[in-house]
């Protein structure tokens, strides 16, 4: 948007943007590296999912997800979607990703409070994440400060969502690693360390998302507080 023409914007945005680029590079590098490392049990992602679901005592339909790093758990339909690379390969990365997504399934089954809060925020954030910037720009450039502050409040929903998402994702990874250990699929400390590396890299992307949302929110407040061009 045209507010980014203000050089001051990059003082707020640049650190979060750099963190996001680092996170994306790390998660792709870790995924691609450990997708080539065969796990000692010789278990594909699909086979691991079936084994761990039995251990959890839950049943989910498994569907294929197109693309790379597109694996996810859908709590509305109770479906586990796995990419071709994860479902069909007996790699350490496949185990880590499947375990993480089943960690979400376990959260759902146990009605994990942060996950329920995040799910409740989804329809609100889908609306306010695009409405907030529009209201802010309109209010800021037309000197309608109440409208601009309403935009800040609306966009704050995106920052809140990112904040709630972070512990949900970290907890899912912790659950997934414990599940892999109990199932006996991880056969060595080295594999556990490798799986943790994949999941830690993925977690950093959520830290970056939170940093980006907060930096944008702070920039809006900075402008309204007199730090940028004033229209009133």
Which residue in the list 101, 111, 169, 181 is annotated as catalytic?
Answer: 101
> Residue 14 and residue 111: Cα distance in Å, rounded?
37
What's CA 121's distance to the chain center, in Å? 14
Whole-angstrom distance, CA of residue 169 vs CA of residue 217: 22
Contact present, 29 and 194 (Cβ < 8 Å): no
In the residue annotation, 84 being an active-site residue is answered as no
3-state class (DSSP) for residue 61: strand
User: Taking the CB of residue 177, how many other CB atoms lie within 10 A of it?
Assistant: 20
What is the DSSP code string of 108-164?
Answer: HHTT-HHHHHHHHHHHHHHHHHHHHHHHHHHHHHTT-HHHHHHHHHHHHHHHHHHHH
User: Would you name the residues annotated as active-site residues?
Assistant: 101
């Amino acid at each position: 948007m045209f507010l980014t023409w203000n050089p001051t914007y990059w003082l707020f945005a640049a650190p979060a943007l750099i963190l996001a680029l680092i996170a994306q590079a790390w998660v792709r590098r870790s995924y691609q590296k450990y997708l080539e490392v065969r796990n000692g049990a010789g278990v594909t992602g699909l086979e691991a999912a079936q084994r761990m679901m039995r251990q959890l005592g839950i049943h989910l339909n498994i569907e294929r997800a197109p693309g790379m790093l597109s694996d996810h758990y859908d709590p509305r339909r109770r479906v586990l979607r796995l990419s071709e690379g994860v479902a069909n390969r007996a790699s350490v990365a496949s185990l880590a990703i499947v375990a993480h997504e089943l960690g979400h399934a376990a959260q759902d089954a146990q009605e994990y409070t942060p996950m329920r809060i995040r799910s409740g925020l989804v329809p609100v954030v889908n609306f306010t994440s695009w409405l907030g910037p529009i209201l802010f720009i309109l209010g800021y450039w037309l000197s309608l400060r109440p409208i601009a502050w309403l935009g800040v409040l609306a966009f704050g929903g995106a920052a809140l969502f990112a904040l709630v998402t972070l512990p949900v994702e970290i907890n899912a990874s912790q659950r997934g690693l414990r599940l892999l250990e109990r199932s006996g699929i991880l056969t060595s400390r080295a594999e556990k360390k490798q799986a943790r590396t994949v999941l830690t890299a993925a977690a950093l992307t959520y830290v970056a998302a939170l940093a980006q949302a907060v930096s944008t929110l702070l920039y809006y407040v900075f402008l309204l507080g007199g730090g940028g061009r004033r229209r009133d």
